[in-house]
Amino acid sequence: MFTSILYPHDEEQGKEQQNQEPQCFHDLNLDKIFYPILKAKKEFELERFFYTPAHNTSIIQYRQDVMQDLENKTVRLLFEEFSTKAYAISHYMENTRELLSAKEHWDNNYLTRGRMLDYADRYCQAVTTLSEGAKAIQFKAQGLSDFSAYLKEYCARPSFQSLCMGVKRLREDFSQINYCMLIKDGTIRVRKYENQSDYTAEILRNFEKFRQGEVKDYRHKLSEEPSADHVEVAVLDMLAKVYPDVFRSLEDFCSEYLHFDDPVILRFSNEIQFYLSWLDMIEPLQREGLPFCYPTLCPMADHLYARDCFNLALAIREHSNTVTNDFSLDTPERFLVITGPNQGGKTTFARAFGQIHYLASLGLCVPGTQAALYYFDNILTHFGREENIDTLNGKLQDDLVRLHDLLEKATPRSIIIVNEIFASTTLADALLLGGKMMDAFAALGAPGVIVTFLDELASHGPETVSMMSTVNDKDQNSRTFKIVRKPADGLAYALQIAQRHGLTYEQLCGRLAK
């Protein structure tokens, strides 16, 4: 039986979901990827879906299949419209149930009951429309196929059909109510309509001679206030005395169908936004020609690779200026050690490596044309931090403390990303500490990326792969932002950066002389 579009089995939903960002989010710029989605879809409260990686590969495959079906724009639009309507109704009904449970007449009144009738009507229409639309689609994904079958069975239930018939009957009954309202000296009286003159029709008839053809309709439907207006409530109370049977039927309807919305369908309307919001976010990038793919998840780190991957946070900002890169790790290789020119895209690449692994763990499509990625238990990062005056630790001590904590948490199934560690100490000390760090990583066997100014780490052992950021052959001031497999050459091109910013010895002396 279908229960969730995010989890193929009911028991998997009970796993704890995270409402706080994972620790790696800021270092990998994942916060910059997900913040626009969470802001745009704030009402759906999607944080727990994007902050909780899937705990087995069957969930990831289940989600990938669903997302591939939703790439069809017709399918996506069908579910987008339903999700928006159904989830809004669920929020309205939460408030309505609270009001109808109140003892005060101010809240528990015919206006509130009328709104519930309206929500039930909209719910029936939304569910029926979705069911009819789903019948015309041959879903490939198990999740969407199971939901379509559940929806068909739900619409055939006597309880749902009774709800729809009850809504229809009450709508017809209320449409037959005609009444007159006499307003005089601040007093309102209501009575049955008894063929009195219809002044609306008379006014329209008198002004007909001024009509000069069809014009734009400027009327705008205003949404009702969430709390009852005392005048409307009073008028409805008087009408209930004039038409007691109809209003009694409304009371009975609200009592019987107070919880008319199906929890499985409402959960679906929330969870489907996990997919829809992601596809909406990457669509502009795809139009710019940036590739996305569905990676294979590997339980072992024997053969990992990605083709044409890129830093998604940067792509969201830059769009068409994005540079793509490749990487591969084949046993016994475990670590990409990246050296090369400053400002050449090394940290950007390291973040891209972490990003695509995290996105893959959610079951999302990832940047690239093809990828086989590691099915990890945790992503552990070590990026530069501002010195904390409260701890009285120096930069080197802070690096070592945080590295120790990282190794305490790491397992062979972790992914480790280290960026420019030991930059605050001497070269000799950095090489000694860096070598011990590499020994610890090699013993652990977990894959990862190290960005470093220490070229020696790139040839530490068979577990390391040397990669370098590159410059334009014709202009060494120009960075290509391509990261390629090649031995470290020790060239940082720092002089060119200093020249660009007017900070060489000669440039400084020239300015000081003036």
Domain ranges in the chain? 1-16+52-176+241-287, 288-513
Q: For 107-158, list the strands marked E by DSSP.
A: none
The Cα-based distances of 125 to 3, 5, 155, 352 in angstroms read 22, 22, 11, 44
**On the CB side of 504, how many CA atoms lie within 13 Å of its CA?**
9
For 288-513, CATH number out of 3.90.550.10, 3.40.50.300, 3.40.50.2300, 3.90.1280.10 equals: 3.40.50.300
pLDDT in tens, 57-78: 999 999 999 999 999 999 999 9
Whether 22 has a pLDDT exceeding 70, the answer reads yes
- The number of beta carbons lying within 10 Å of the beta carbon of residue 482 is 17
The answer for residues whose C-beta is within 8 angstroms of residue 96's C-beta and 6 or more apart is 112, 115, 116, 119
Please, which pLDDT band fits residue 211 given cuts at 50, 70 and 90? confident
Q: What is this structure's pTM?
A: 0.87
9-18, 139-148, 276-285: which has the minimum mean pLDDT? 9-18
Label residues 323-347 b or e (16+ Cβ within 10 Å = b): bbbbbebeeebbbbbbbbbebbbbb
Model confidence band, residue 294 (pLDDT cutoffs 50, 70, 90):
very high
Dist CA 123 CA 117 (whole Å): 10
Q: In what order do the strands lie in the sheet with 335-339?
A: 378-382, 414-419, 448-451, 335-339, 464-472, 475-485
Give the three-class secondary structure for 370: strand
Quick: pLDDT tens for 140-152.
Answer: 999 999 999 999 9
Q: What percent of the chain has pLDDT over 70?
A: 92
Distance CA 405, CA 414 (A): 14
What is the DSSP secondary-structure string of 457-475? GGGSSTTEEEEEEEEETTE
Write down the residue that tokens 């207006």 correspond to. 229
Angle between helix axes 73-100 and 110-135 (nearest 10 degrees) is 160
What gap in Å lies between CA 363 and CA 415, rounded to an integer?
A: 17
Burial classification of residue 63, based on how many CB atoms lie within 10 Å of its CB (0-12 exposed, 13-18 middle, 19 or more buried): buried
The one-letter amino acid code at 47 reads E
Q: How far is CA 254 from CA 155, 227, 354, in A?
A: 20, 18, 52
Q: What is the mean pLDDT of the chain?
A: 89
